[in-house]
Structure 1
Amino acid sequence: MPAAPAHASQQPPAATPAEQRLLLVHAHPDDETIGQGATMAQYAAQGRSVTLVTCTAGEMGEILVTELEHLAADKEDRLGEHRRGEIADAMAALGVTDHRWLGGFGHYRDSGMQWHADGHAVAADDVHDNAFSRADLTEAATLLVEVIREVRPQVLVTYDEFGGYGHPDHIQAHRVAMYAAQLAAVPSYRPDLGAAWDIAKVYWGAMSESRMRAGLRALRDAGDTTSFEGMDPDGPLPHFVTADDDLSCAVDAQDHVERKMDALRAYPTQVTLDGPFFALSNNVGAAAWGVEFYRLVKGALGPVGDDGLESDLFAGLAGDAG
């Protein structure tokens, strides 16, 4: 076969699944499954690399299982260790084999939270000395830089600037992830942690406004007035709901939604089987939690479908950037 003319367009080779690496940064166990569990399960099943970094063990979380209330922070203070087991079971359900704690297990503690009168989370009145929300930003980001340079992800997923609903640890995870992504790309910054790595695409997890309104309407039509209590299908919605015009990507992982539900079941201290996640799934179907949405905040938008959205977080990335 004759060689292609010198002026012919040369396309870089498409990346194989094993060359595609996703890094997710979350604050507490269960956050990852609620937000991106179906995406994680689908990508893991496809042979893509999925790395989850969890910043705290969720020591201050509410305990929904009566017989485990003794683990609470104001009692035995052993909830974090229990949730360590829960997230291990959840990752097994999702097929994710690379899970890490920022700085190691217990390095940062759950900051806790309380509800503001406006319906969003704010900092608790009493915060532990090594609470994640109090962490030095550069120190925490540097711990993540080491992971980034080891894993070399092309895609990073974390929270928006409000942490979805205002939890101080979610906001801190956003800050740490975004700053670490910048520092990791600087060759002269801590070269002892590995070669510089520039993450090609950064996304913030999101929830589609139109999907949320449709789901709420289905719940209310089915007579469910308690799931997502206080939310009106036709009224104002919380900050974590994103206007459809601001969305960039919708990963349709409905074939893996049961793995996401299994992972949620692995968190009995935090998620109840009769809670809103399962109620919405029962009334709307797999699309309720099997299609997960994202906002692109760094990188070029890849090819989009008729809905104007990417269908893959790696869209537009060719070859192995490493």
Structure 2
Amino acid sequence: MTADHRLLLVHAHPDDESIGQGATMAKYVAEGRGVTLVTCTAGEMGEILVPELEHLAADREDGLGLHRKGELAAAMKELGVTDHRWLGGFGTYRDSGMKWHEDGHAVAADDIHANAFWHADLTEAADHLVAVIREVRPQVLVTYDPFGGYGHPDHIQAHRVAMYAAQLAAVPSYRHDLGEHWDIAKIYWGAMSESRMRAGLRLIRDSGDTTTFEGMDPDGPLPPFVTSDENLAAAVDAQDVVDRKMAALAAHATQITTDGPFFALSNNVGSTAWGIEYYRIVKGELGPLGEDGLETDLFAGL
């Protein structure tokens, strides 16, 4: 990786990266910045939205993970990302699955596979990422918040692994065999703007659509993945490449349908729905701020 600016993203399953930071990734690639994605599992337990592929389900042929590997490769091609890794190598950790808690957030499933990511040894998993960090030497790391956005156990575990690995990678005396130590200058958690989400929901409801993001009231309580604007630190405007994000989303065909909520929001709100991506800062100093009081570049100030 020879780019002066290098971004590392750590995600749990294929499609998480395109949903959360697909536009940012495409923008930085277009600008000649380095973008590395680490995916922790192949999403073997995901829901299958394509009827003719239902035979790939975990309780049937159990071939969804390999199929989603191909979907992720296609999505990365749409975004222009050429450096993608599987944590520990493909198949090291399996999608843990999930179920819905009565309070509306995800929790661990009742039956979990032996090598489920949720049960991974934290130090072992972090060491896999330490080796990547020390090789790529990114200035910026992006991952989930401690709740993993909505409680999915693999998202929570990805957060833990990313944060712990960032600490370990910076220790000069830790695991010389994993490379020369590297301290990541800035760490962010991906976020969704509350004001932007409410505005989008309002437009959707005003259009007569009551099923997209069903149960969400523009003026009522919102899910935990929505972040109060006062807690946001950065907004990367990548509307000029949002078509690449939408193409990447479409590549994850078993998980995302073009008539589903992501595309419905985009159709109602336009490029701002998914072309502006928000972040909370965790480590590092804020750089110059834009007119709305937020950083416009994750590398600002470096």
Interval of TM-score (by shorter of Structure 1 and Structure 2): over 0.9
**Secondary structure, counterpart of 2:236 in structure 1:** strand
1:280 aligns with 2:265: yes
1:95 aligns with 2:71: no
Instruction: Output the CA distance in 2 between the equivalents of 1:153 and 1:86.
Output: 26
Query: What is residue 241 of structure 2 aligned with on the other side?
Result: 256
1:60 aligns with 2:53: no
Query: What is residue 212 of structure 1 aligned with on the other side?
Result: 197
Instruction: Output the CA distance in 2 between the equivalents of 1:305 and 1:50.
Output: 23
2:188 to 190, 203, 212: 203
Q: CA RMSD in A?
A: 0.7
Unaligned runs of 5+ in 1: 1-16, 318-322
Q: What is the CA deviation profile of residues 27-47 of structure 1, one whole-angstrom value per residue up to 9, with x for unaligned ones? A: 000000000000000000111
Instruction: Output the CA distance in 2 between the equivalents of 1:44 and 1:302.
Output: 21
**Secondary structure, counterpart of 1:19 in structure 2:** coil
Q: 1:192: Cα distance to partner? A: 1.1
Q: How does 1:141-160 map to 2 (within 5 A)?
A: 141-160=126-145
Instruction: Output the CA distance in 2 between the equivalents of 1:120 and 1:63.
Output: 20
Number of residue pairs matched by the alignment: 301
Instruction: Output the CA distance in 1 between the equivalents of 2:102 and 2:208.
Output: 27
Unaligned runs of 5+ in 2: none
Query: What is residue 192 of structure 1 aligned with on the other side?
Result: 177
Q: 1:18: Cα distance to partner? A: 2.2
**Secondary structure, counterpart of 2:182 in structure 1:** coil
Q: What is the CA deviation profile of residues 226-266 of structure 1, one whole-angstrom value per residue up to 9, with x for unaligned ones? A: 11110000000010000000000000000010000000110
Query: What is residue 285 of structure 2 aligned with on the other side?
Result: 300
TM-score, length of structure 1 as denominator length: 0.93
Q: 1:305: Cα distance to partner? A: 1.3
Q: What is the CA deviation profile of residues 23-72 of structure 1, one whole-angstrom value per residue up to 9, with x for unaligned ones? A: 00000000000000000000001110000000000000000000000000
Amino acid at match of 1:107: T
**Secondary structure, counterpart of 1:18 in structure 2:** coil
Instruction: Output the CA distance in 1 between the equivalents of 2:166 and 2:252.
Output: 30
Instruction: Output the CA distance in 1 between the equivalents of 2:3 and 2:116.
Output: 36
Q: 1:306: Cα distance to partner? A: 1.8
Which structure would you say has the larger Rg? 1
Amino acid at match of 2:196: R
% identity of equivalent residues:
80
2:56 to 71, 79, 101: 71
Instruction: Output the CA distance in 2 between the equivalents of 1:99 and 1:230.
Output: 36
**Secondary structure, counterpart of 1:171 in structure 2:** helix
1:225 aligns with 2:210: yes
1:164 aligns with 2:130: no
TM-score, length of structure 2 as denominator length: 0.99
Runs of 4+ in 1 over 6 A off after TM superposition: none
1:240 to 207, 216, 225: 225
Instruction: Output the CA distance in 1 between the equivalents of 2:285 and 2:253.
Output: 39
